Structure 1
Amino acid sequence: MSIQDLIEIQQLLAKYAVTITKGDIDGLLEVFTTDGTYSAFGDTYTLDLFPDLVDAAPKGLFLTGTPLVELNGDTADGTQPLCFIDHSTHDMRIGYYTDSYLRTEGGWRLQTRKMTFIRRNGNHDSGIPHAYERSKG
């Protein structure tokens, strides 16, 4: 296991959290492979849909913890805890991301990211259909 690889993945995930918090969609998309996907709310979204998905989501602070990463050559898997705090109400949502990473010519990138919410009753689930989905119907 390479310490350099772990640091690069941690910095990649820090860029995810900072860019989404700041509303920097271009910077956010840079952390993914070109065929990357994001899964939540019972569906998987390709990167072409990701800007609209983020736009429909509440805004606030994405506070992430140190990921647990398992390296396997040019691929890796990981889990990263998340606490999202809404900017207007300071309501919190907690959960974790389950990720797969790929080493590319440009460095490590997220290939898949799946959100799991932790509910007050202790359940872990992918969430209810998102406002983005409701606005399409």
Structure 2
Amino acid sequence: MTTPSRTDDLIDIQQVLAKYAVTITQGDIEGLVSVFTPDGTYSAFGETYALERFPVLVDAAPKGLFMTGTALIEFDDDVRSSAAGTQPLCFIEHSAHDMRIGYYRDTYLRTDAGWRIKTRAMTFIRRSGAHDHGKPHAIGRPSA
């Protein structure tokens, strides 16, 4: 078996990130969960949520369009099975078209099923220019 090239790895990770954006936009929780490692986590609002909490977290979140930009991905040259990245995000809520902007900071792992997200942490960009992770224990958010 040949070792995938760095380009192959980038394309694979970008496809996982595209699947995240499409599945969360379409409300496909099963598809969304599939882009994470089994021990994957999502961090925002002062909490880190384990994978089994994703359905409740997504159900409590506003619905709309998740538009993501191309992620800047950095590989650990000594380990071909992990990487880290930052991906810009613009979320547009469906009913009022209110926007939220920010970025995800991720870690990725190569698994037997291909590249997957291990950790994803949300950072919001506020109108003031501040960057933060959201209000801890925001109303309507499930506990981690």
Q: For residues 52-131 of structure 1, what are the structure 2 equivalents within 5 Å?
A: 52-72=56-76, 73-128=80-135, 129-131=137-139
1:39 aligns with 2:39: no
1:51 aligns with 2:55: yes
Instruction: Name the CA distance, whole Å, in 1 between partners of 2:120 and 2:140.
Output: 18
User: What per-residue deviation string (whole Å, max 9, x for no partner) do you get for residues 97-135 of structure 1?
Assistant: 0000000000000000000000000100000133343x6
User: What per-residue deviation string (whole Å, max 9, x for no partner) do you get for residues 9-63 of structure 1?
Assistant: 0000000000000000000000000000000001100011111000000000000
Instruction: Name the CA distance, whole Å, in 2 between partners of 1:62 and 1:23.
Output: 11
Identity %: 67
Structure 1, gaps ≥5 residues long? none
Three-state SS of the structure 1 residue aligned to 2:124 is strand
Aligned length: 135
Tell me which amino acid in the other structure corresponds to 2:37.
T
Three-state SS of the structure 2 residue aligned to 1:11 is helix
Q: TM-score, normalised by structure 1?
A: 0.95
Q: Which residue number corresponds to residue 28 of structure 1?
A: 32
1:71, distance to aligned residue in structure 2 (A): 1.4
Structure 1 stretches (4+) deviating beyond 2 angstroms? 129-133
Q: TM-score, normalised by structure 2?
A: 0.91
Q: Aligned pair in 2 of structure 1 residues 66, 5: CA closer, same or farther (>3 Å)?
A: same
Three-state SS of the structure 1 residue aligned to 2:23 is helix
